[in-house]
Amino acid sequence: MLEKQIDTFKKYRFLLRELVKKGIKLKYRRSYLGILWTLLEPLLTTCVLTLVFGTFFGKDDKTFPVYILTGRLLYSFFSSGTKFAMKSIRQHAGMIKKVYVPKYIYPLSSVLYNFVIFAISLIVLLGATIVFKVYPNVWCITAIIPLVLLFLLTLGVGMILSTMSVFFRDLEYLWDVALMLIMYTCAIFYKVDTMAKTGHAWIFKLNPLYAIIKCFRDAVYGNSMFADPFWVIMPTVVSVLSVIVGVALFKKHQDNFILHI
């Protein structure tokens, strides 16, 4: 059974690659700067966020733009990855109705191509760390952990959303609202300490995306993310769980997709 699964995956690897390529190519087609936007866009929004919020929250912190950029980059991958995965089944309805292809290829390719764009945009972060003198040390290697967790979480949530949105299209609008809530509780453009003072620090403990961003910041700033193991264990559990639930849910309902698109 598993062997057969791996065989079909091998057979459709080329399709997966083509779909990832398509996502990246079409995203910036017909814009003059093309793929350069993957770098420009986070750079410009970070400038705006620093201008707006830096004066409030980051007065004493010379490296505040790096702080914002790390949060924003990770959040925007999560947001676009889940959104595109959610819409992937409907977007490829034409193909699904005509040819047999393992359906998980569609949400998977959506998450993957957004991950590639995200990976390219990390170059901006590299530049920012040099400009703002956040120098790397050995802990930087641990950045790989939150990145893997982020990918898993996005894939898992994306699979859950893609299954549910086939049956209830309202979810596309609901998710936008939910994402807003997630964004404001991710501490992208403010320091957690200011929130902690008001006694609302528990909110962050419920947000796996914040935990991932926190771990990533620790790595970038050269600190150990394991100082309080909660911040590594919690997102690990949630991410793995989301993938398990996502795959199970998708598998259970995928044969009915065609009757609803």
Partner 1 sequence: MANYAIEVNDVGMKFNLSQEKLDSLKEYMIKMLKGELKYNEFWALKNVNFKIEKGDRVGILGLNGAGKSTLLKVIAGVFKPTEGQVIRHGRLVPLLELGAGFDSQYTGAENIYLYSAVLGYSKEFVDKKFDDIVKFAELEKFIDVPIKNYSSGMKTRLGFAIATQVEPDILILDEVLSVGDAKFRKKSEAKIMSMFKSNVTVLFVSHSLDQVKRLCNKAILLDHGELIASGDIDEVAAIYEEKTS
What is the distance between the alpha carbons of residues 78 and 84, in angstroms, rounded to a whole number? Answer: 10
| Smallest separation, CB 38 to partner 1 (Å) | 19
Nearer to partner 1, 22 or 200 (CB): 22
How many other CB atoms are there within 10 angstroms of residue 15's CB atom? 15
Structure tokens at 179: 């994402």
What is the distance between the alpha carbons of residues 160 and 97, in angstroms, rounded to a whole number? Answer: 21
Q: Helices (H) and strands (E) in the chain — how many of each?
A: 12, 0
Nearer to partner 1, 96 or 134 (CB): 96
* Distances, alpha carbon 58 to alpha carbons 54, 66, 81, 236, 258, in Å: 5, 11, 29, 30, 51
| Smallest separation, CB 170 to partner 1 (Å) | 5
> According to CB under 8 A, which residues from 80 to 99 bind partner 1?
94-99
Q: Quick one: CA torsion of 136, 137, 142, 146, rounded to 10 degrees?
A: -30
Nearer to partner 1, 244 or 258 (CB): 258
Check residue 252 for interaction with partner 1 (CB under 8 A): no
* Distances, alpha carbon 81 to alpha carbons 73, 126, 132, 142, 195, in Å: 12, 22, 29, 23, 28
Q: Binding marks (x or -) toward partner 1, 121..160, rule CB under 8 A?
A: ----------------------------------------
What is the distance between the alpha carbons of residues 129 and 137, in angstroms, rounded to a whole number? Answer: 12
Question: Could you say which of 100, 138, 177, 202 contacts partner 1 (CB under 8 A)?
Answer: 100
Question: Could you say which of 43, 101, 140, 261 contacts partner 1 (CB under 8 A)?
Answer: 101
Check residue 255 for interaction with partner 1 (CB under 8 A): yes
**Cα 188 from chain centroid (whole Å):** 14
Nearer to partner 1, 205 or 251 (CB): 251
- Biggest CA–CA distance in the chain, Å, is 59
| Smallest separation, CB 151 to partner 1 (Å) | 23
Binding part of the chain for partner 1, among 132-140, 141-149, 189-197, 251-259 by CB under 8 A, reads 251-259
Check residue 32 for interaction with partner 1 (CB under 8 A): no
Binding interface with partner 1 (CB under 8 A): 11-12, 14-15, 17-19, 22, 25-26, 29, 94-101, 168-171, 255, 258-259
